[in-house]
Amino acid sequence: MLNKLASPKNFIDKNKLLQSLLIVMILCYNIKANAQSEWEVNTLRDINPKSPNSLFWKGISYSAEPLSVAVPVGMLTTAIITHDKKLKIKSFEVLGSLALASATTEAAKMIFNRPRPYETYIEIYPNKKESGKSFPSGHTTTAFSTAMSLTLISKKWYIAAPAFAWAASVGYSRMYLGQHYPSDVLMGAMVGTASAFVSHWLTKKISTRPKRIFKNYVK
């Protein structure tokens, strides 16, 4: 067991993980230091109209959280009814990704404490005043977590394409509604995608161990 953990492959994987985390930390620091750069505010103003009342973009935005929860719950319900063990494990993977993405987002909001764009700048018109901080976008995080999880478990382009189109639309809608800066949306997409990969990796690691690991969940 110790030899396996100390193998060159595992050492390389750990180094890659540390390098990735360092890059994300540097990016986050730069975003915090330049949170309201001119290009970002101007980009947001170009996207955000004076009256962001489009029912389409509101619907896309508000679909993020309900759909992100409905997908794994629907999978789990179907798996229980049909006694499909593989589908049940996949539903846990999607739920795990969503939980990790949500926890990471809330932690980042507390750490970076970035105000909403309309709280700092004029000529940014929110559809409504929302509570909570701006960085990263929680709606975008959950949408990309769901899209990437569905892609990883299905490996079907006709599932991945509409899933990512929806997730990208959620990100755009958050800027259209004046709720987030572009960097909020970008980091939300990164956090959601990374959470899906971590959950996928953990699920594979656990599911390949002795069956007793899952006996209380998939029997």
pLDDT digits (tens, 9 = 90+) for 115-158: 999 999 989 999 999 888 999 999 999 999 999 999 999 999 99
Whether residue 136 has a cis bond before it, omega within 30° of 0: yes
pLDDT at 63 over 90: yes
**How far is Cα 91 from Cα 71, in angstroms, rounded to an integer?**
8
Average pLDDT over residues 30-53: 80
Cα(46)–Cα(69) distance, rounded to whole angstroms?
Answer: 32
- Locate the domains of the chain by residue range: 48-218
In the predicted model, what is the mean pLDDT of the chain?
A: 85
Closest CA to 211 of 124, 89, 122: 89
CA pair distance 162, 157, nearest whole angstrom: 9
Percent helix, strand and coil across the chain, each rounded to 5? 80, 0, 20
Residue 2 pLDDT more than 50?
Answer: no
Question: For the residues 59-63, what does the mean pLDDT come to?
Answer: 97
- The pLDDT assigned to 207 comes to 77
DSSP symbols for 97-153? HHHHHHHHHHHHHHHH-PPPHHHH-SS---SS---S--SS-HHHHHHHHHHHHHHHH
Nearest to 173 by CA among 50, 53, 28: 53
Residue 1 is encoded by which pair of tokens?
Answer: 């067991």
Quick one: pLDDT band at residue 187, thresholds 50, 70, 90?
A: very high
Q: Are 112 and 25 in contact (CB under 8 A)?
A: no
